[in-house]
């Protein structure tokens, strides 16, 4: 694709053309080197048009009801006039090969809606790669005029941090089972969440869900909130009965207002948060690219097997071996021992 064609694709994305949007995301997700260059040009062209959406992250253990919730919540938002894009970061899809299609069928009604766009997670890449491309896909959706972008991830620590680093508000869905579940979460993940929602508050689970919510509220008092300007609420909902959707959106809006009302040197808390996130992604990108470059470097590749063997045999310390690899990479090897 030439520069002109990249610019033409960017223009079609900005005009909200669905096929262009899908094509743009495919380009951004591609691992091919020539595609990477085009994707970078595309992102440069789209970046000024991005930033306009409410960015929402959704997480929770498998089976908690994420897909069912997103379907109900998305339909609620569309009925209120929003345009909703749904993206997924799902490292487990490599394992099961599954949830990709599963999700599209579970979100059937939303998937058919003109004002919605659902993109299953790209499979077959490292978590770092998936998350990085999901962030770019999020920006593409914004440039295409979606004013709510939902990023879903399954409860695996690393992917949650990555998603929390790309959204304005991070929502943790919880089982109606009760407080025991809290023990199963790493404290770090609890501290990432801006909003807690107990799912399946319907039928015979209604009382259990209310009880669980009260327990979570109690437990949360001992956690550090993600922002000093916001105390994370605990709500309940039933995606099947379509209950609680309005309250959850109200909480999302209230959270945004709280961050925007907190004035800082950089403007406000929300602006600062997005700026911090962009910087985080810069360094994720540097980390990942550096590692790729390091592994591909001939002098490193030549020395790696022997150094690894020495380290595993216990005859060389990992620290010294790492320093030698780095020296090989940088071309600063001293010739003698060092
Ligand atoms: N009673 C009740 N059941 C629900 C509700 N939401 C989801 N479920 C059920 O919970 C099960 C799991 O729902 P999913 O939406 O697939 O959960 P998920 O979190 O997306 O699961 P994974 O994709 O496997 O991580 C399904 O059997 C749903 O029917 C709800 O509001 N009420
Ligand atoms: Mg699901």
DSSP string computed for 131-192: HHHHHHHHHHHHHTT-SEEEEEE-S-HHHHHHHHTT-SEEEEEE-TT-THHHHHS-HHHHTT
Dist. CA 62 → ligand 2 center (Å):
7
* Bridging pattern class, strands 263-264 and 148-153: unpaired
Nearest CA residue ID for atom 14, ligand 1: 65
Nearest CA residue ID for atom 27, ligand 1: 63
Could you tell me which of 254, 200, 168 has the C-alpha nearest to residue 60?
200
Question: Phi, psi at residue 45, to the nearest 5°?
Answer: -70, -30
Residue 161's pLDDT is 87
Dist. CA 114 → ligand 2 center (Å):
21
CA atoms of 319 and 173, how far apart (whole Å) = 41
Q: Which two tokens stand for residue 161?
A: 């941090």
Packing angle between helix 3-14 and helix 127-143, nearest 10 degrees?
Answer: 70
Q: Which ligand 1 atom is nearest residue 68's CA?
A: 15
CA atoms of 159 and 276, how far apart (whole Å) = 18
Dist. CA 307 → ligand 2 center (Å):
43
Could you tell me which of 174, 156, 129, 140 has the C-alpha nearest to residue 55?
140
CA atoms of 39 and 34, how far apart (whole Å) = 9
Question: Closest-lying ligand to the alpha carbon of 92?
Answer: 1
Of 68, 160, 238, 239, which is best to mutate to test ligand 1, by the most ligand atoms within 8 angstroms of its C-beta?
68
- Under DSSP, is residue 315 helix (H, G, I), strand (E, B) or coil? coil
- Under DSSP, is residue 59 helix (H, G, I), strand (E, B) or coil? strand
Question: Closest-lying ligand to the alpha carbon of 199?
Answer: 1
Query: Is residue 147 within 8 Å of residue 154, measured between CB atoms?
Result: no
**Residues lining ligand 1, judged by CB closer than 6 Å?**
60, 62-68, 99, 106, 154, 199-200, 202-203, 238-240
pLDDT tens digits in sequence order for the chain, 338 residues long:
667 889 999 999 999 999 999 999 999 988 788 898 999 999 999 999 999 999 999 998 888 999 999 999 999 999 999 999 999 886 654 444 444 455 656 788 998 999 999 987 765 556 666 678 899 999 999 999 999 999 998 766 678 888 999 999 999 999 998 656 665 666 778 889 999 999 999 999 999 999 999 999 988 888 888 889 999 999 999 999 999 999 999 999 999 999 999 999 989 999 999 999 999 999 988 998 899 899 999 999 999 999 999 999 999 999 999 999 999 999 998 765 44
Of 57, 58, 65, which is best to mutate to test ligand 1, by the most ligand atoms within 8 angstroms of its C-beta?
65
Question: Closest-lying ligand to the alpha carbon of 65?
Answer: 1
């Amino acid at each position: 694709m030439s520069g002109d064609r990249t610019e033409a694709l960017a223009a079609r994305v900005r005009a909200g053309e669905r096929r262009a949007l899908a094509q743009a995301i495919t380009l951004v997700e591609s691992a091919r080197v020539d595609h990477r260059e085009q994707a970078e040009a595309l992102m440069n062209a789209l970046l000024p048009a991005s930033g306009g959406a409410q960015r929402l992250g959704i997480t929770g253990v498998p089976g908690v009801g994420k897909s069912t919730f997103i379907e109900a919540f998305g339909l609620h938002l569309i009925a209120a006039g929003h345009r909703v894009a749904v993206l997924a970061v799902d490292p487990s899809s490599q394992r099961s090969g599954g949830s990709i299609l599963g999700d599209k069928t579970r979100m059937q009604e939303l998937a058919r809606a003109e004002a919605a766009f659902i993109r299953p997670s790209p499979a077959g890449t490292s978590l770092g790669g998936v998350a990085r491309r999901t962030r770019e896909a999020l920006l593409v959706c914004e440039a295409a005029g979606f004013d709510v972008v939902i990023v879903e991830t399954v409860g695996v620590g690393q992917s949650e941090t990555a998603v929390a680093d790309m959204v304005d508000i991070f929502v943790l869905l919880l089982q109606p089972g009760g407080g025991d579940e809290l023990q199963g979460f790493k404290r770090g993940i609890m501290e990432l969440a801006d909003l807690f929602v107990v799912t399946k508050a319907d039928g015979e689970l209604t009382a259990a869900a209310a009880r669980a919510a009260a327990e979570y509220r109690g437990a949360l008092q001992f956690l550090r909130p993600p922002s000093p300007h916001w105390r994370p609420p605990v709500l309940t909902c039933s995606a099947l009965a379509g209950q609680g959707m309005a309250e959850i959106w109200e909480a999302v809006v209230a959270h945004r207002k709280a961050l925007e009302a907190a004035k800082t040197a950089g403007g406000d808390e929300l602006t600062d948060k997005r700026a911090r996130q962009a910087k985080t992604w810069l360094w994720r990108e540097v980390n990942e690219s550096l590692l790729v470059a390091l592994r591909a470097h001939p002098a490193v590749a030549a020395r790696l097997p022997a150094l690894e063997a020495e380290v595993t045999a216990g005859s060389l310390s990992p620290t010294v071996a790492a320093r030698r690899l780095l020296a090989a990479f940088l071309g600063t090897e001293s010739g003698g021992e060092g």
